[in-house]
């Protein structure tokens, strides 16, 4: 598994399944899910730059980074951390690709398996049946997403909106390590560059193909 410079696997906090949190009632979860799906149904594309801070359970800073993200309906994602933490993640609808320039390595996994446990990729498809696997609560335009299973390493995903704009995201793992992302230069429902989702393994890179044969 490719890791960030802090030793945090990108798929651990970005693409892992989440632990169940029992703090919301069933009625709240249903209302929150309806509101979030309604909000996302109007979001065909999302582009933004972001700043990221990663802290541990004692609020010690582990990493600061910057990058950019592009989401497109259905099920397409481009995620990049800029140097010195250069790392690229691409979901093209079939395969999830992770590129590590430092290691000159690419990992490929079946995207369907990732989508089933990945609320971030689900942002590109509000009608996916996998939404039924999550509890969602909402308060003051902030959505808390938690799973109905206990198989993942991430404890909670929080999405914050300002009006219709997604402006921030927080990911908390089982060890209370927190990744805070703040989005800037936000463009919603603008045309995106389709080449971003057409991944080609760079020449000289090693491919770790974990897709089912």
Q: Give the range with max mean pLDDT: 28-37, 156-165, 201-210.
A: 201-210
Per-residue confidence (pLDDT) for residue 38, from 0 to 100: 79
Q: What is the mean pLDDT of residues 166-177?
A: 86
Mean pLDDT for all residues in the chain: 79
Q: What is the pLDDT of residues 30-67, one digit of tens each?
A: 577 778 877 777 788 999 999 999 999 999 999 999 99
pTM recorded for the entire structure? 0.76
pLDDT higher than 50, residue 16: no
Evaluated on CA atoms 186, 85, 113, 94, the torsion sign reads positive
Residue 125: name the closest of 137, 138, 143, 112 by CA: 112
CA distance 99 to 181: 21
């Amino acid at each position: 598994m490719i890791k960030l410079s802090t030793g945090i696997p990108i798929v651990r906090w970005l693409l892992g399944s989440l632990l169940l949190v029992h703090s919301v009632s069933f009625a709240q979860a249903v209302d929150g899910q309806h509101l979030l799906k309604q909000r996302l149904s109007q979001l065909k594309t999302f582009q933004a730059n972001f700043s990221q801070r990663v802290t541990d359970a004692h609020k010690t800073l582990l990493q600061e980074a910057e990058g950019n993200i592009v989401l497109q309906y259905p099920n397409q994602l481009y995620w990049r951390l800029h140097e010195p933490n250069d790392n690229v993640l691409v979901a093209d609808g079939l395969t999830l690709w992770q590129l590590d320039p430092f290691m000159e390595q690419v990992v490929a996994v079946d995207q369907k398996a990732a989508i089933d446990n990945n609320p971030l990729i689900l942002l590109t498809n509000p009608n996916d049946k996998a939404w039924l696997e999550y509890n969602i609560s909402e308060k003051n335009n902030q959505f808390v997403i938690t799973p109905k299973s206990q198989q993942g390493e991430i404890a909670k995903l929080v999405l914050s909106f300002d009006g219709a704009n997604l402006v921030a995201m927080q990911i908390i793992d089982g060890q209370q390590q927190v990744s805070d992302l703040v989005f800037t230069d936000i463009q919603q429902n603008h045309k995106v560059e389709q080449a971003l989702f057409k991944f080609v393994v760079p020449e000289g890179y090693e491919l770790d193909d974990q897709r089912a044969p």
